[in-house]
Chain A
């Protein structure tokens, strides 16, 4: 499938924005500027971006604890996200959600979720709403290989199938459920093989190849928009960092991170591919890199300079009215 130059540039910029954001979060976390649990998405950018390249703001997304990349790909402003991670009043969620709970309803981003497997039932809810209201909105339901063993996911796959909901279930299989390897926790080699049990198409693909992700999700989104029901995509990938920042990663094989970063970096793979085909120039990539770096620098500055939430905010947003 040939992509327009505009789309290629968009893909690159989004992936680079995620990578730069995550690398900077790692630094700021190390400095003690960002508290709590942060789960970095670096290494998995091709999945969120390849899929979101098929969507509009009207489409929905549910996410996971590893949600920064999903947010950026869906169009959530990185400066608001950074402020959220800093726990500031200007954050996407007013500093009340943090890394694991970023939601942006204007962008159809229904929220990261700190409970593994917490999102799939919600995805069926937005999917059912789109179906009942006869809009052609689709919902992307991201989950990791860990969540693929949760009952919520299996209930949701079944519900989506019997009701033919417009949902694309996206398994981001990075090989580890926290520290437990997939070959131990998963009964099948490929999570997508389980799709047959729910009578829906299942596709296993290279999640570090944005073109493969884009093509498979393009077809799945088209199926969903035309009332043909859900699809299960499994994107095999790898996370460049630990489960969370501070994770010693003792469960990984020696030099595994380095090997993947050198040989399977989705951004590098994209760049090499596009350069070899002379579709985008080095100078154009450089311009994007510079713009993204400046954007993230500005975002961190914005986050640092923003005020903490007013103490009165403790008691707001619990109820609409009480």
Chain B
């Protein structure tokens, strides 16, 4: 099978869906003439023209609302945030308009819109450019939240997201854009709300998404040398959540570690812990444990940033702790 980067897979998903449905268009800061801040949209302006690839001023609230308004009356916008950090300017539009207009109108309004862009920390970008926001959006009924970890998932999930009739928060891993993976030539989609087992194991379940999947897989490889077989489960979408798959895995391994890049307080991992405790309490041989980002704004210095982010060592330690091994 051919290999594509995560970036190329996302681009291919958008291009295919724009070919398939002329109501689909891309809008955001520098998506057109500059070919995208992270080059995800490279070449799309040349291929589809200015009607389909719309550059905007730096006005996140404004252009997010423009996308919502366009979706209300029949278009299918893809709104790119240069990074999800800047979506916080537009939080009101996503929470008060995108998530609620259908409900408040008694079902008259559909909002087929995808908000997408990179999230999470990259390398020493400091506190305002390193945030994890999936929990901020997954909290809100009316939104779906997708966090792909591989090129294959990125393409299949983005295609499904664009075809979905609901407002979607699609958070790409900023450090994953250059990561390669197998992506078939032939068309495929991945249903939203279906998780994926990235590595099978019987001793401990690690739940991780986006770039934390790769940290979990590295930890699993290291732990295998000690004879510990870790199952790595990627929910792929935070909302809707594939609770059945999670509970099935935890009931099999009886132990669970959740690895998330974001802050611990009210993070998505806290919700997962609740669901596991509630749904698999009698199967647990140890309390579910979280490995999260540290509870501080992201520091700039390299050594401090390293300390804040969940890494392989922390995950290995956590897995051993639920096995009561040191």
Binding site for B on A (CB under 8 A): 60, 62, 91-97, 101, 103-105, 110-111, 113-115, 118, 120-130, 132-133, 151-152, 155-156, 158-159, 162, 316-322
Residue total for B at the interface (Cβ-Cβ under 8 A): 43
Which of B71, B92, B104 is A93 in contact with, Cβ under 8 Å?
A: B104
Binding site for A on B (CB under 8 A): 25, 51, 54, 56-57, 59, 61-75, 92-93, 96-97, 101-110, 141-142, 144, 164-166, 193, 240
* A96 with B69: CB separation less than 8 A: no
* B51 with A156: CB separation less than 8 A: no
A121: B residues at CB distance < 8 A: 61-66, 68-69, 93
Task: Please list 24 pairs of residues, one from A and one from B, whose beta carbons are closer than 8 Å in the complex, sorted by A's number.
Answer: A60-B73, A93-B105, A96-B104, A101-B105, A105-B72, A113-B97, A115-B96, A118-B92, A118-B96, A122-B66, A122-B72, A123-B69, A124-B62, A125-B67, A125-B72, A127-B69, A128-B66, A133-B75, A155-B62, A156-B62, A162-B57, A316-B107, A320-B110, A320-B165
* A97 with B105: CB separation less than 8 A: yes
Given A103-B109, A124-B62, do A129 and B69 touch, yes or no (CB 8 Å)? yes
A322: B residues at CB distance < 8 A: 144, 166, 193, 240
* B65 with A125: CB separation less than 8 A: yes
How many Å lie between the Cα of A120 and that of B69 in the bound state? 9
* B56 with A159: CB separation less than 8 A: yes
* B106 with A158: CB separation less than 8 A: no
A92: B residues at CB distance < 8 A: 106
A162: B residues at CB distance < 8 A: 57
A-B pair number, CB within 8 angstroms: 144
Q: Tell me the minimal C-beta distance from A164 to chain B in angstroms.
A: 13
Most buried by B among A113, A319, A321: A319
How many Å lie between the Cα of A114 and that of B95 in the bound state? 13
A130: B residues at CB distance < 8 A: 73
Q: Tell me the minimal C-beta distance from A63 to chain B in angstroms.
A: 12
Q: Tell me the minimal C-beta distance from B105 to chain A in angstroms.
A: 4
A96: B residues at CB distance < 8 A: 103-106
How many Å lie between the Cα of A201 and that of B71 in the bound state? 28
Q: Given contacts A111-B101, A123-B69, could you give 18 more A-B pairs where the C-beta distance is less than 8 Å?
A: A95-B106, A105-B108, A115-B97, A121-B64, A121-B69, A125-B67, A125-B72, A125-B73, A128-B69, A133-B74, A152-B61, A158-B59, A159-B59, A319-B144, A319-B166, A320-B102, A320-B165, A321-B165
CB nearest to A309 among chain B residues: B106
* A159 with B97: CB separation less than 8 A: no
A128: B residues at CB distance < 8 A: 54, 66, 69-70
What 7 A-B pairs come out closest when comparing CB atoms? A125-B69, A121-B65, A155-B62, A94-B106, A122-B69, A93-B106, A317-B107
